[in-house]
Structure 1
Amino acid sequence: MVGGADAMLEAYRFGVPEGPHREPWTAEYHREAVRVYNESLPSSYQRDVAKLFRDSLTAMAGCSIPADLAADWAIVTAYMREAATSIEDWLVSGESASGRPGPAGAPELTPHNPRVVHWDVLAGLTTQAGTRRMKNACVAVKQYFDAEVPPSLEASERRMLERLISGAAIADVASEMGYSERSMYRELSKLWKKLGVSGRVAGLRKAIAEGLLD
């Protein structure tokens, strides 16, 4: 989606006029965009795109997101939902009318029959501001998914960190948890590696900064 938005923004730079649909994540935009997809891509590819969007929507439905990502999240999910719906409706209408997938019966991709999406035509259906807003939303959501997921701590690891943060000596923590002091150092070494830090100070700082004990 980011690549597609970039291609559309490039089309505006080369003089493609803006179109009537202010936002490219609406049903109105996709009812026209689907005709461009059908001229560009074989029906099997369109069906795969619709399935990919549906699967992505299902996965995203179970996510808990920060409040400042809500607007971007809504744009991305709306785009995928409307694109999938438009493609599915288009393919069904073609099958019922002609008995074959896709109203235009778009040919399959082959090495000798390459197909490309006409991003310039898609750009002509919407506005530059709307396209840029969609790109920014896609980038924000992608960064959210690409962000490092905080490590999940075992109960014993949480206990170690809590006691060390409280100022307890390693020997005392070892005694409380039933370890020898040498074994305690070995367990802590594993914990620092899990947290991606080099030692105790960095490990405790990371645990506090990232709320690993909340």
Structure 2
Amino acid sequence: MTRALVVTGTDTGVGKTVFAAGLASLLGASYWKPVQAGLGEETDSETAARLGGLAAGRVMPEAYRLRTPASPHLAARIDGIAIEPERLAIPRLPGTLVIEGAGGLMVPLTSSLTYLDVFARWRAPAILCARTRLGTINHTLLSLDALRRRAVPVLGVAFIGEDEPETVAIIARMGRVRVLGRLPIIEPLGPEALRRGFGSAFGREAFEGAFGETPGNATPGGAARSALAP
């Protein structure tokens, strides 16, 4: 049975692909991007393979490759493609699979289906990637609340950006969530630089428990609750 980890984010451009590449490399995992919108430049799968040093066999083919660089629901409509939820089942393969979403949780795949709907069906442990800059407290707490309201297990939050201890602390406290670590901005960014930077920011132990009880989603008594519940 596939051991899947979902990498999602508070919004677009937060650094999910870089994080997912580093995570797949660290764990010796495979990578999957279910829906790719925009084929004019390097795709997320190609970026993850390059930065993570992933062999071709460790990058699963996308369920949908859409030419138009837009929200998946719009890209599919422009391309004349109907996205079918049944094709978004987690691939079966041995070992661990890192799955990267697109944008934030509420990105629409169709006029009635969001990424959050898909994550709720999968019930795979989710890692929420968040920036450290201004505005991230609101976005991160709202995203945690949305995940937990749909009973998606939250492994923890991975921050990306400059060190902002107070921001990280308030999110951990108010969101009752585990902080997995912080990946600094890596420049220049390449496979070796990412391997070193990711290894310094996150140890394998940060992801222990991903396929059992997830500390970031636990409350007294073991029940999952909203991040903003009283």
Give the TM-score normalised by the residue count of structure 1: 0.22
Greater relative contact order, per chain length (Cα 8 Å cut-off, separation 6+):
1
| Structure that is richer in strand per residue | 2
Tell which structure's C-alpha radius of gyration is larger: 1
| Structure that is richer in helix per residue | 1
Give the TM-score normalised by the residue count of structure 2: 0.21
